[in-house]
Amino acid sequence: MATKRVPPTQIDGNATIADVVEGLDKPVEYVRRVLERLERCKRAFGDSQVRIAVRSRAECPNYLIEYVREDPKTRQRTTHQDAAYSGSTHRELGPHHIEAAGMWSPEEMNITAVSALIGRLRNPRAPSRSDNED
């Protein structure tokens, strides 16, 4: 007897982690592990951001850690790939994953945005400033 396969949830072509966080298997753990990778990249290169793989499992999308360098003379900013990671194991993926055409969302989240996201996940009912101003 054949089992029915549920079609995978599609990830929007320009999604960020914030856009897919509701559908993640373990959102706090996933975002925490991504943040660890971002912090390591920031220590090494002074900057870090993350893009998700739009052609991977929506419950735990693979992700690409990058950093941006600015040429001091031209002020031109160049993005460099640090490493790609499996969204389910958080292990580094081979370089061929980075080059896969159409794999990565054009939208990224920087380390500050990911830190804010994990804060909201860990404390979803925290009152905002405006709630206290009566």
What are the pLDDT digits (tens) for 22-36?
999 999 999 999 999
Give helix then strand counts, H and E, for the chain: 4, 4
Exposure string of 46-59, with b = 16+ CB inside 10 Å and e = fewer, is ebbbbbbbbbbbbe
User: What is the pTM (predicted TM-score) of this model?
Assistant: 0.84
Q: Determine the pLDDT at residue 133.
A: 47
- pLDDT tier, 134 (very low <50, low <70, confident <90, very high otherwise): very low
Instruction: For residue 98, give the nearest of 59, 129, 53, 68 by alpha carbon.
Output: 53
Q: Determine the pLDDT at residue 3.
A: 52
CA separation (Å) from 90 to 7, 31, 63, 72? 24, 11, 9, 34
Residue 26 has which token pair?
Answer: 């373990």
Give 66-75's long-range contacts (Cβ < 8 A, gap of 24+). 66/41, 66/108, 67/41, 67/42, 69/45
- pLDDT tier, 93 (very low <50, low <70, confident <90, very high otherwise): very high
pLDDT in tens, 11-62: 999 999 999 999 999 999 999 999 999 999 999 999 999 999 998 899 999 9
